[in-house]
Amino acid sequence: MTGSFTIFPAIDLRGGKVVRLAQGDPERETNYAGSPLQWAERWKSEGADWIHIVDLDGAFGKDSQLNLQALDSILGLGLKIEYGGGIRDQISVETMVDLGVRRVFLGTAAVLNLTLVDWAIRTYGPAFIAGDIGALDGRVTIRGWQETTVLTVLEVGHLFLSHGMERCVLTDVARDGVNAGVNIASAVELQKATGLQVVASGGVNSLDDVQRVHQAGLAGVIIGRALYENRMTFAECKIALGDYDE
């Protein structure tokens, strides 16, 4: 196995609290006890270097102040943070840089505002800017996965690549938050067709899922509900991969 691989514990924020949504539906929310900082401390104690944080309020076009406060507290731990959700203009990107986020991922903005992508890549480089694709039945979704476009995953992947991106997250919306098993085939297809470094997300339910993503040669995997509901620990994921090394 060659190349780097990263396991990202996911922290989805809504009103400053840690939640998971089933299939991206804001009406199907599970709240988890403990502050965002406490969860981040747990992932760090188990060996995580990176954390994937989503501002759900931002994705839904609502006020994100409490989520930004939570992000600020987590950044104090010294972890590498990638952050997305509602980042749709230059000021939002610049705010993330000022706070100390290591990578910003763009979803809706990357599909609808390629001028922003060009500016962000030119200003910060492809290591800092990543694409975020939420897919439902092969079509790309936007605005917090609430709207489905006519664009296919591969069309958007090629679009990202042509505008200088090197990495993207691919989430199977139908599987996200319902422990249905990760859609590895779609992620592998995207990576092979475009050359993007693809991180698989949505539906991770077991250590076997994590191992299969790793063995498929993908760039990483994002894990949410399975960690919060103790189907596995982050430490167990690292052990299961054996030679795993961020």
- What structural domains does the chain harbor? 6-241 (3.20.20.70)
pLDDT at residue 28 in the model: 85
Sign for the pseudo-dihedral over CA of 85, 90, 96, 99: negative
pLDDT at residue 161 in the model: 96
CA nearest neighbour of 21 among 63, 72, 55:
55
Contacts of 89 (CB under 8 A, 6+ apart): 109, 116
pLDDT at residue 158 in the model: 96
pLDDT at residue 144 in the model: 67
Q: Which two tokens stand for residue 72?
A: 């600020």
- According to DSSP, residue 26 is labeled T
135 near 106, Cβ under 8 Å? no
Q: How far apart are CA 133 and CA 111, in angstroms?
A: 9
Strand (E) or helix (H) holding 213: helix 207-215
In single-letter form, the type of residue at position 185 comes to A
Instruction: Count CB-CB contacts under 10 A for residue 127.
Output: 11
What is the pLDDT confidence band of residue 178, given thresholds at 50, 70 and 90? low
Virtual torsion, Cα 77, 83, 88, 94, nearest 10 deg? 30
pLDDT at residue 180 in the model: 65
Q: How far apart are CA 57 and CA 207, in angstroms?
A: 30
Helix segments in 48-89, DSSP class H: 56-59, 65-75
Statement: residue 142 has pLDDT above 70:
yes
Q: How far apart are CA 154 and CA 189, in angstroms?
A: 8
Could you report the per-residue pLDDT of 78-107, keeping only the tens digit for each? 999 999 998 999 999 999 999 999 999 998
What is the pLDDT confidence band of residue 138, given thresholds at 50, 70 and 90? confident
Mean pLDDT across 136-159:
87
Q: How far apart are CA 234 and CA 186, in angstroms?
A: 24
pLDDT at residue 243 in the model: 53
Strand (E) or helix (H) holding 14: strand 6-14
* DSSP three-state, residue 132: strand
pLDDT > 90 in the chain, percent: 73
Phi, psi of 231 (to 5 degrees): -75, -20
Helix segments in 60-113, DSSP class H: 65-75, 90-99, 108-112
* DSSP three-state, residue 56: helix
59 near 143, Cβ under 8 Å? yes
